Amino acid sequence: MRHRLITNRLRDEEGIAMAFVVLMSAVLLLLSVVLIQVVSDDSTQANTSIQRGTALQAAEAGIDNYLSKLVDDNQYYLHDVAAGESTRQSGATTVAGSCSPTPTPATWTGSTTWTYPNGQDQWCPVGNGYEFNLQITAPSAGSQVVDIVSTGRETGTTSNYRKLEIEVRPSSVADFLMLTNSNYNVGSAATTYGKIYAGENATGTVKYNINHQGTAYGNLYAEGTVTGNPTLAGGAQEYTGAAGTIRSVIKQPIDFSNFTTSLTDIKRAADLNGSTFDLSNPAYNIYKLTFNSNGTVAIQGCHYTSAPETTKPTSCTTISGSPFTVPANGAIYSPVSIMIADGTSTCGTPVITGNCVNGRVTVASNNDIIVGTNIDYVQTGDDVLGLIAANDVIVAQWAPYNLNWRAAVLAQNGARHSASSDDSHGLATFTGSTTSNGSPYMDMFDQRVYNYDPSLQYLEPPWFPTINYAYTVLLYRELSAP
């Protein structure tokens, strides 16, 4: 009886096992479907990520390709339409470069401005199944900034584009704290906050060295060697001719003889200002300039009989119409020496009394420039002063005991130096950039502080010389894809 009851109970539960099997099969099937979908989604996302990443590399390749053209020809955009660049139109002129079967630029015969009426109609392959398109904007009047937009994508696709924009300008001598065609020494107690370059002689047979025993926050470039075991901070690195590394960043040695073009350009630009800034009267052998905070410059013609850097010229006559508004084209030129002196304006941080520059101007002399006063800007980032001398830029013996001056300085054939090495003065604080053909010194001062002016990275003095084969990136960003 007991055996019959157990058997009957088991017969009553025979369908539960089947239901359980069916349920588990359904669950496993659902899990399989979900897992397949997850794997498929992950695969799609991975492929999309790869496509986008490689498209970005293609866009970067387009930028690198165009920069290589600018390095060889800094006005390439006016001479050619690059392979991969969209079809340009300027008036009745329409020009397109070609990338098939090989990248071939086309000669540009239009104006300095153009449009791209066909959008992104030209693409150049980079060899991995991806391609890039370029669109270029030439510098506006008074600027050297070239705008490059590069778009990368998988060949022939219309999705997963990546678009990059950069703005570049030719590197300027004002990008350096010190650029010299001589050996350059920095003591153990000194800290430098900008790039330093030591070049070579005119024939390339003598390579100059940097002996830096202090702390460097900017890169050190020497056509010879870097000695002194400097402490490199803030990412600074050494690049030397001896180690064969300098050519990776500075394509060719910087040639001081090229800077004569800058003097010629400034003279031509100054001539456009007419008689207002004609500083060539044979009655004077030196001119005195005083910059005022209201945007004017007072000019006097002077005469000296002894070294003006040692004895201040006092036989001076105010030029008719002085003071003048700082010229709009930023060019002041004289065939004779110029001294920056006197002045009662106040500006800067810390506040100085002396010359306060309100405007963007370069003062050039076919002889010497003598600095005998404090100099600063009314507004940092908006005002800038360049001083270019065919020979020397000299801090006068009659300068203030403690001198605080700011400028981008170039001594083309001579050097930036003090009138003496007698330690007769206290502290000299210089903020800016120095380019000195000969070995620079400032030993008239017992203490010397040299600061690079970072505003020169985006606001160089007008007509200041650029460096061939080098570019500075001002902007780098990703744009929304089309």
Please write the tens of the pLDDT for every residue from 195-211. 999 999 888 899 999 99
CA-closest candidate to residue 53, choices 482, 370, 478: 478
- pLDDT tens readout for residues 264-303: 889 988 988 877 788 999 999 999 999 999 999 999 999 9
CA-closest candidate to residue 333, choices 290, 302, 364, 379: 364
Provide the 3-class DSSP secondary structure of residue 22. Answer: helix
- pLDDT tens readout for residues 158-170: 888 999 999 998 8
325 and 358 Cβ atoms separated by less than 8 Å: no
133 and 250 both lie in a single domain: no
Measured CA to CA, the distance from residue 448 to residue 190 in angstroms comes to 9
Task: Give a yes or no: residue 19 inside a domain.
Answer: no
Please state whether 84 falls in left (phi above 0), alpha (psi between -120 and 50) or beta. left
Task: Give a yes or no: residue 241 inside a domain.
Answer: yes
307 and 372 both lie in a single domain: yes
Measured CA to CA, the distance from residue 175 to residue 195 in angstroms comes to 7
Task: Give a yes or no: residue 229 inside a domain.
Answer: yes
133 and 208 both lie in a single domain: no
153 and 179 both lie in a single domain: no
Task: Give a yes or no: residue 240 inside a domain.
Answer: yes
425 and 446 Cβ atoms separated by less than 8 Å: yes
Task: Give a yes or no: residue 313 inside a domain.
Answer: yes
What is the pLDDT averaged over residues 426-454?
92
144 and 283 both lie in a single domain: no
Of 139, 160, 181, the domain-final residue = 160
Measured CA to CA, the distance from residue 406 to residue 456 in angstroms comes to 11
Instruction: Say what the pLDDT of residue 6 is.
Output: 54
Q: Between 83 and 25, where is the model more confident?
A: 83
Strands 231-232 and 215-216: parallel
| pTM of the predicted structure, to 2 decimals | 0.73
301 and 433 both lie in a single domain: yes
307 and 356 Cβ atoms separated by less than 8 Å: no
Give the neighbor-by-neighbor strand order of the sheet with 352-357: 345-347, 352-357, 375-377
Provide the 3-class DSSP secondary structure of residue 175. Answer: helix
Measured CA to CA, the distance from residue 410 to residue 387 in angstroms comes to 6
285 and 155 both lie in a single domain: no
Measured CA to CA, the distance from residue 285 to residue 279 in angstroms comes to 10
Confidence bin at 41 (pLDDT 50/70/90): low
Of 103, 132, 160, the domain-final residue = 160
Measured CA to CA, the distance from residue 473 to residue 465 in angstroms comes to 17
Is pLDDT above 70 for 42? Answer: no
207 and 148 both lie in a single domain: no
Domain with 124, as residue range(s), is 44-160
